[in-house]
Structure 1
Amino acid sequence: MRDCSNNRRGFDRVLMAVAATFLTVSASSALAQDTPRTSAAELAIDAAVPRPEPANVPPPTAADFKADTTAALPDAAKPADTKPVDAQAADAKPAEPTAPATAPEAKPADLATAPATKPADAPKTDTAIAPPAAAPAPATATAPAATPAPATAAAPAAEPVKAASNVPAEDQPVADKLREMLANKSLRTFDRKNERPAAEKFYSAREYAPVFTHGGKLTETGKGVIARLKDAAADGLDPAEYPVPDFAAATSPDALADAELKLAASMLDYARQAQSGRMHWSQVSGDILYPEHPIDPAEVFANVTSAKDASTALDGYNPPQKLYKELKKKLAELRGQGDGPVITIAEGPALKYVAAKKKQPAVEMDDPRVPDLRNKLGITENPDSTTYDATVARAVEKFQNSVDLKPTGVLDERTVKALNSPKRDKQIDTVIVNMERWRWLPRQLGAANVGNAYVILNIPDYTLKVMQNGAQVWTTRVVTGKPGTHATPLLTETMKYITVNPTWNVPPSIIYNEYLPALQQDPTVLQRMGLRLERNRDGSIHISQPPGEANALGRIRFNFPNKFLVYQHDTPDKYLFGKDERAFSHGCMRVQNPDQYASVLLNITMPNERYTPEKIRSMYGSSEIDLKFPTPIPVNITYQTAFVDDAGKLQFRRDVYGRDATMLSLLKNNRGKDLEMVVAHSQPSYSRPPSSSLPSNVYASGDNTGFNSSGPSFFERLFGGGFAQPAPPPVRRGQAQPQRRVITR
C-alpha cells in the first residue's frame, strides 16, 4: 500500500513552488505598472496590451508548472471591451526595447525566449523571467497578427525604398548601358584624359539618360550636332575626322549607348579643332608662339546640349573675327557653293562609256544620277539626259585627273566619293590654311578697356594696322625679316611703351656672324659706323650704337618684350618702303611712319595728352625717352597669304616663308589628330666665341678693368631699363621651345 502522506508532501511542495512563482510575477507586474511611461509610443503600447483582472486568473494547477512561458501572461491578456488604439498611436515611434510588444492573440509558445530552452532553471531566480520583457523584437518578428504598434516597431529594419528615376522608361535600358560603359576602365571612346571625366560627370548628372536620342529616335540636339559635323568642310575642317554613328541601324540599347558616346566624342573633337586648329602651330615652325586657348570639355557638354540650336552653339567654337568669317564666305564661293545647295552624287553601280569600234556600236549606260553628274561637272549640253555618253565620260576623266585618280572615265565608287568631297585647288588650299592660322590667334585680339584696340601686322602683305572698336584706325607699310633664319616670328604680345631716341644694342647673332668677321678684315669698321665695342662681365662682346639720326633703329622703338627679342622701329633706310616685297630685315619690323604710329598709340592709351606727330618729333635728341602706356596694347604678328580687303575682294600674297606649303604637306599626310600634338624644336646656338677671336689691335671697353664692365644686361639694353631678361620657363614634355630670334636694324 502506497504511503499517501509521502505523495501528499510532494504535491504540497509543487503547490508551494507555483504559488511563490505567481507572487513573484505579480509583484514584478505591479512594479512595472507603477513605472511611469516616458513616451507616446510606450503609452500607446500600454493602452493596446490587454491586462486581466486578478479575479479572472484561475487557481494554479499541476499543468501550470511551465512558469517561464506564462510569466508574461498578466501583460498579454485583457478583457475584450478594451478600446482600440487611435491612428496617432499607431503612427507613433517604435517602443523602447524594455516594453513588451505582443499581440493579444499571440500564443504563449510564440513568446518563448532563451529561458524557455532551460525550463529547469525557471523556478530558481527572477532573471529567468526577465528576458521575455527585455527582448520584444524577436517576438514581433514571429507574430504576423501583431497590432499596428508592433508593426511600426519593425519598420526601421525594412530595406530602404529606391528613389524614383527621372529617366523615361523607354530610355532606361540605354541609360543602364551608358552607366556600365562609362564605368568600364577599358573604354577608349574619348582620346584625351580630361574628356572622359567630363563625360562621366555630364551623364551621371542626367542619371545616364541619353541626350542625343529619346526612345531610340534622334533628338533636336542630336540632329543639330550631326548637321554641324557633316558641314565641317565649310569651316576648312575635315568631316572625316568627326565620324557620325549610324543611329538608324542602332536598334538595341547597346548600340544606342555606343552611338551616343561616339557622337559625344566627335562633338568634342570638332569643338577642340574649331577653336585651336587641326594642327598645333609648333608643328609648322619653331618661330611661332601664340597663347594656348584649349576647350573645356565639361563646358562644351553644357553649352551645346543646353542650347536651343546645338548646331549654332557648336559653330561658336570657330574664330569670331570678321576677317575669318569673310574667308569662310570666300571658301564657299570658290567651291561653287555660294548660290545654292551642294550637289551630291548618289552611290550606285559603276557607269562607263565604251567607244564604237569597227563593227560594234558605242555602249552608253543609262542612269538617273547622270543629270546631277552633268550639273556637278558643268556640262551644259543635254542637262536633263540620263545617258552616260562620251561627253560625260570625258568630263569624268578630266575630273579624275585633277584629283590624282586614274583617268579611266568610269564613274566608280572612288570617283563618286571624290565628287562628293569638298572641291580642292590651289586657291582653296590657300584659304583653308589661312583659316587654320586664324584659329591660333587669341579669341580676344584687343584690350577691352581701350575699345578693344590692337595692332595687327601681316608679314606677306608687309602692312601694319591699328584697330579699335572693330574698325581700322591707321595703317602703314613695314619691312619684315628675310626668309630663312631671319624670318619675322609669329606671335602675340603686348606693347608696353615707346622709346624715343633709342640705343641700338646689336644682337649677338649679328656681332658674331657679321661684325667680328668684318673686324678681322678692317679693325676700324666699327668706329667708322659709329658703333661702340664693349666687353661684358662674362667676357662676351657687346656692340651698341648711341641715339642719333644715323642710328639703325631710327628715332623711335616700339617695345613689346618677347622671347624672340624682336620689336618694331624706325629706320634711316626709307627707300625700302617703295618696294612691293619688303623682306629685308634680320627679324624686326621697320615702320614707315613711326611718328604717326606713336601718336596714334599714345592717343589711344592717353587720350587727354593729345600727342601729335609734331609733338613726338620735338622729343628727338641724344637721350633716350620712354613713354609708357597706362594700358598695354596687344600686338598680333600674323601670316595671311589670303585675306579679304576693305572692298570685299579676296586677295592672295606670295608665300614668302613657305608656311603654306609646310601646312598643306602636313594636312595631306592624313595624320589626323597627331597634328594637334605639341612638338619641341631644337634651338639655335648663340654661343659666343672666346675673346681671342678679336684682332690683336682691337680693344673693347672694359678690357683694362678685368671684364668688370657694369651696366644692364642685354635684355635690359634691348628693351630699356627696368626689364630683366627673363629666364625661359621650364619646357613641359612635348611643349614647343620658341627659337631665340635675331634683332635687326
Structure 2
Amino acid sequence: MTTRGGYDRVLMAVAATFLAVSATSALAQGDTPRNSAAELAIDAAIPLPEPANVPPPTASDFKPDTTATVSPNQAKAPETSKPVESVAAPVADPAKSVVSPPPAATATAPEPAKDPVKAASNVPAADQPVADRLRDLMATKGPRYFDRKAERAAVEKFYAGRDYAPIWTQGGNLTTAANGVIARLKDAAFDGLNPADYPVPDFAAAASTPDALAEADLKLTESMLDYARQAQSGRMHWSQVSADIQYPEHPVDPNEVLANVTGAKDASAALEGYNPPHKLYKLLRAKLAELRGGHDGAPVIIDDGEPLKYTPARGKNAPEAEAQMSDPRVPKLRAKLGITENADDIRYDAKVAAAVRKFQENADLKPTGVLDDRTVKALNTPKRDKQIDTILVNMERWRWLPRDLGAPSIGDAYVILNIPDYTLKVMQHGAQVWTTRVVTGKPGQHATPLLSETMKFITVNPTWNVPPSIIYNEYLPALQQDPTVLDRMGLRLERARDGSIHISQPPGEANALGRIRFNFPNKFLVYQHDTPDKNLFARDERAFSHGCMRVQYPDQYASVLLNIAMPGERYSPERIRSMYGSSEIDLKFATPIPVNITYQTAFVDDAGKLQFRKDVYGRDATMISILKNGRGKDLENVVAHAQPSYARPKGPLPSSVNVSDNSFSSNSGPNFFERLFGGGGQPTPPAPVGRPSRRVFTR
C-alpha cells in the first residue's frame, strides 16, 4: 500500500509531468509512447488545469477510466496481450519521472483491429465480399475495363470514396439507379445511338458469386460512361470526316457523370441529359422514332441470355419434339421478326427458328437458326434505310456543336447557317429574328468549312485581299496568259522585296465582296459578305463561291446584328447604306455574336415537316460509311491534318505586268490574316485543337 505522504508525492509528480507535456511535447514523450495505456489513463483522470495557481490534485480527483476495458480472455491469457509498462515512484527528480497510477485507475488499451480498413468500412456485410473483389479488380484489371486514363482515375476515386461498395447493387439486388441506367442504355437507339455499343451485364446470372457481381458492376459503369461520352461529344470526331471542320471541344467529365447519375432521383433522365439540348436535335429525335415505328418509336431490344436452339423430332411422321426450349425473351423475338401468330408464346419453336435463320442470312451471319450472342447483337442494331441513316448522321453532327449556341448577355443571340439548305438565320431568345438566302462554297477544295466562331465587327466598303489559294491557282496562271487581266478586273498587284505577291481590290460597287463584309476571324480565312452577282440567289442550289458565304440582303443583315450587339445605336438598313463610299469603315460589336456554320441535310421546318437536302459535299456518305464500318471507341480518335499555309505566294511575273509603285516591305506591315480580317494585333491563325487520343492518324 502507498502511504498518504507518498501518495501525495505521486500526485504532485503526475501533475508536474502533465504540465511538462503541455509545454514541450518532445521532452515529455521520453521513452514511453504517447499513446500508452498509462498516459491515456492519466489524461482521462486529470484534466488540464485552467488557472495557473490551482492546488495540487488529491486522491478524490482520480476516477476510474471507464472507456478502457479488459476482456475476460485478456485477463486469463496475459501472454496474448502486451502488458502495461510502469515506472516505480517516487524518484529524486519528479519532473523527469513517469509513474504508474494507482491500480484502480489502471486500464488495458483495447487490442487494435487486425485490418483497420475493414474495421472502418461502412459497407454492409452483405456487400463486403463484392467490395473486396471490386478493390482487387480495380487494382489489377482497371485498364481492362477503363482504357481511358481520366475515366479510370475517376472510377477508382469514386469506388474508393465509397469503400468499394458496389454502385449498382445492394445485397445482390439492382438499385433504382441501376434500373434507370439499364433502361437508358437499352433505349439508346432513341437518341440515334446503337444499344449494342453499351452492353448491359446479366446481373441475375451474376448474383451467384461476388466475383461475377463485381465484374458486372464495373461493366455497367463502363457502358454508362461510354454512353455519356458519346451522347455529348459524338461517336466519331469531326476531324475524321474532313479537314475543313473545326468545332470547340466539350468533352464529358467522368467525375461529374458518376456523381450526377448515381445521385439523381431519375438516373435514366440524368444520363439522357448528356445528349444535345438543341430544339432541332430533339425534333429530329422525334422524327427518327416515327420512321422506326414500334412502341413510341422505340425499337424492340432483345436481352442477352443463353443461346436458344430448336431441335426437330426425328422421323418423317414423328410429332414435334416435346422438349422445346422456352425463354421469356421469345415474345419480343417474335415481335422483332414480325411473327404475329402466338405472339405471347415463350417457346422457341420451328417458326421462330426459321425466322431467325432468315434474319441471319440477310445480316451476313451463318444461318444456323440459333439465337446466339452475335445474332442478338445484330437484332439490336438499329434498322437502317436511307432516311434513317441521314437522320442519324445529322443527329451526330449536332453533338459536335457547342451546347450554348448563343451569347447569354444579349439574349442568347447567334447566327446559324445551314450549307445544304443555303439559308442563314439570326436567332435570339430561342426564336428566329431574321433569315436570308446565301451562296456557299463549291464542292471539293472550295467547300465552305463547318465551324463555330464569334463575329466581332462589320466592315463597310471592304477591300478584297485575294486569298493565297486564288492567287496561286487562278491569277498567276491567268497572268501568264494575259498580263493585263488584273488591270481589266480592277485588281491591284503589289510585290515585296522578298518576291512575295499580294493582290487586292479596292472598295467600290464592283468589289467582289460587295459593300459589306462580316468578320469572324478563323483559321479557314472565310467570312460572310455582300456580292455584286445577285442573280445566283434565285437558284435552288447555290454552291458557287470559293468558300466564303455571300448574303442576299447584307444591309438588313448588318442592321439586325448591330441592333442586337448595340441596341442603343438604332442602326437601320438606310443608315448602313448611307455609309457606302470608297473608304473602309469598321463597326465593332460591343458584344461579339456567335456564328455557327452547320451541315443539316435533314431537319424539321417551322411547320413540323421533316425536310431533306442534297448531300452537296458528301459529308453524309462519309459519316454513314464510318458508322457502318467502324467500331465503338475507335471512332472517337482525332485525325491530324496538315495545316494550310498562310505564306504570301511567290512566282515569276510577265515583264509587262503592272506592279503598284508603293510595293510593301517584306519585313513590316500586316500579315495576310491581318489584311483579311483587320486588327493589326491579330495573332497567327491557331492550329485546330482536338481532344487527346491514344492514336493519331495522318491524312
TM over 0.5, yes or no?
A: yes
C-alpha distance in 2, partners of 1:462/1:112? 91
Letter in 1 for 2:228: A
Q: Does 1:466 align with 2:426?
A: yes
One of 210, 227, 232 as aligned partner of 2:188: 232
Distance 2:178 2:355 in 1: 39
- Work out whether residues 309 and 369 of structure 2, in 8 Å CA contact, stay in contact via their aligned partners in 1: no
Displacement of 1:681 in angstroms is 1.3
* 1:664 match: 624
Tell me the equivalent position of 1:301. Answer: 258
Q: 1:724 aligns to what?
A: 682
Q: CA contact under 8 A between 2:196 and 2:377: conserved in structure 1?
A: no
AA of the residue aligned to 1:192:
R
Match of 1:596 among 556, 559, 567: 556
1:391 & 1:263 partners in 2: Cα distance? Answer: 34
Which residue does 2:236 correspond to in 1? 279
Moved more, 363-372 or 461-470: 363-372
> Counterparts of 1:382-397 in structure 2 under 5 Å?
none
**Contact 1:286–1:736 (CA under 8 A) maintained in structure 2:** no
Q: CA deviation at 1:372?
A: 6.8
Q: Which position in structure 1 is the counterpart of 2:271?
A: 314
Q: Which 10-residue stretch deviates more, 300-309 or 176-185?
A: 176-185
Contact kept in structure 1, 2:62 and 2:105, CA below 8 Å: no
How many correspondences in the alignment?
A: 629
- Length-normalised TM-score, structure 2: 0.79
**Of 585, 590, 615, which residue of structure 2 is paired with 1:625?**
585
What is the distance in 1 between the residues matched to 2:519 and 2:253? 34
Partner of 1:700: 659
1:232 CA displacement: 1.1
Question: The residue matched to 2:526 in structure 1 has which SS?
Answer: coil
> Shift of residue 722 of structure 1?
3.5
Tell whether 2:512 aligns with 1:555: no
Tell me how far 1:33 sits from its aligned partner: 7.3
Is 341-350 or 504-513 further displaced after alignment?
341-350
Does 1:90 find its partner at 2:90? no
Gaps of 5+ in 1: 1-25, 44-83, 95-109, 116-126, 141-145, 353-359, 740-745
In structure 2, distance between residues paired with 1:558 and 1:738: 35
Q: Taking structure 1 as reference, are residues 735 and 450 closer, same or farther at Cα in structure 2, changes over 3 Å only?
A: farther
Alignment of structure 1 residues 113-262 onto 2, 5 Å: 147-151=103-107, 155=109, 159=112, 164-184=120-140, 187-250=143-206, 251-262=208-219
Q: Distance in 2 between matches of 1:247 and 1:340?
A: 27
Counterpart-to-counterpart distance in 1, 2:236 and 2:310: 37
Alpha carbons of structure 1 residues 37 and 544: separation in structure 2 relative to 1, 3 Å: same
Shift of 1:664: 1.2
Q: Tell whether the 8 Å contact from 1:561 to 1:567 is kept in structure 2 after alignment.
A: yes
Contact 1:499–1:625 under 8 Å retained in 2: yes
SS class of match (1:184): helix
Q: How big is the shift at 1:420?
A: 4.3
- Letter aligned with residue 280 of structure 1: H
Q: Is 2:428 aligned against 1:454?
A: no
Q: How does 1:323-402 map to 2 (within 5 A)?
A: 323-337=280-294, 339=296, 342-343=299-300, 348-349=308-309, 376=336
What is the distance in 1 between the residues matched to 2:688 and 2:435? 38
Larger radius of gyration: 1
- Asked if residue 514 in structure 1 is aligned to residue 471 in structure 2, the reply is no
Q: Which residue of 2 aligns with 1:38?
A: 12
1:467 & 1:737 partners in 2: Cα distance?
37
Distance 1:437 1:614, change over 3 A: same
Give the one of 438, 447, 462 matched to 2:398: 438
Deviations 1:203-229 (A, max 9, x none): 222122222100011111111111111
Bigger mean CA offset, 525-534 vs 334-343: 334-343
| C-alpha separation in 2, matches of 1:579 and 1:400 | 47
Secondary structure class of the residue paired with 2:281: helix
Change (3 A) 1:381 1:272: closer
Deviation at 1:191, TM superposition (A): 1.5
What is the CA–CA distance in structure 1 between the aligned matches of 2:133 and 2:345, rounded to whole Å? 51
2:310–2:370 Cα contact (<8 Å) kept: yes
**Aligned position for 2:246:** 289
Cα displacement string for residues 124-166 of structure 1 (whole angstroms, at most 9, x for unaligned residues):
xxx9x999x99887x99xxxxx822233xx54x9647956532
- Whether 1:645 aligns to 2:605 is yes
Cα-to-partner distance string for 1:87-118 (whole Å, 9 max, x where unaligned) = 84324999xxxxxxxxxxxxxxx999999xxx
Residue type at the aligned position of 2:412: N
Is residue 464–residue 478 contact of structure 1 (8 Å, CA) maintained in 2?
Answer: yes
Aligned-partner Cα distance in 1 for 2:396–2:513: 34
8 Å CA contact 2:494, 2:664 repeated in 1: no
Are the aligned partners of 1:683 and 1:738 in contact in 2 as well (CA < 8 Å)?
no
Aligned partners of 2:648 and 2:672 also within 8 Å:
no
**Quick one: structure 1 residues 165 and 370, their matched pair in 2 at CA, closer, same or farther if it must change by over 3 Å?**
closer
For the residues of structure 2 that align with 1:688 and 1:385, how far apart are their CA atoms? 75
Q: How far apart in 2 are the matches of 1:720 and 1:275?
A: 35
* Partners of 1:192 and 1:247 in 2: CA distance: 25
Corresponding position of 2:74:
none
Q: Is the 8 A contact 2:471 2:649 kept in 1?
A: no
Distance 1:736 1:258, change over 3 A: closer
SS at match of 1:600: helix
Q: Residue in 2 aligned with 1:523? A: 483
| Larger mean Cα displacement after TM superposition, 340-349 or 635-644 | 340-349
Q: Does 1:267 align with 2:224?
A: yes
RMSD: 4.4
Once the two structures are overlaid, the 10-residue window that deviates more, 284-293 or 331-340, is: 331-340
CA distance in 1, matches of 2:667, 2:657: 17
**Equivalents in 2 of 1:349, 1:229: separation in Å?**
27
Q: Distance in 2 between matches of 1:398 and 1:338?
A: 24
The SS at the match of 1:636 is strand
Q: Secondary structure at the match of 1:465?
A: strand
Matched, 1:654 2:614: yes
Distance in 2 (alpha carbons) for counterparts of 1:394 and 1:203: 46
Measured in 2, the distance between the counterparts of 1:173 and 1:386 equals: 36
Matched, 1:502 2:462: yes
Q: Percent identity?
A: 70
Amino acid in the other structure paired with 2:675:
R
**In the TM superposition, what whole-angstrom CA distance separates every residue of 1:502-528 from its partner, at most 9, and x where no partner exists?**
010001111111111111111111111
Q: Could you list the per-position Cα deviations for residues 174-231 of structure 1 after superposition, in whole angstroms to 9, with x for gaps in the alignment?
A: 2222223333376522111111221122122212222210001111111111111111
Write the distance in 1 (CA, Å) between the matches of 2:384 and 2:283.
18
Query: Secondary structure of 1:558's partner?
Result: strand
Tell me the secondary structure at the aligned position of residue 171 of structure 1: helix
**Aligned partners of 1:417 and 1:33: how far apart in 2?**
85
Check the 8 A contact 2:442/2:546 in 1, yes or no.
yes
Question: 1:495-554: per-residue Cα shift (whole Å, max 9, x none)?
Answer: 001111101000111111111111111111111111111113542110111111110000
Partner of 2:442 in structure 1?
482
Q: 1:695 to 1:176 in 2, by over 3 A?
A: same
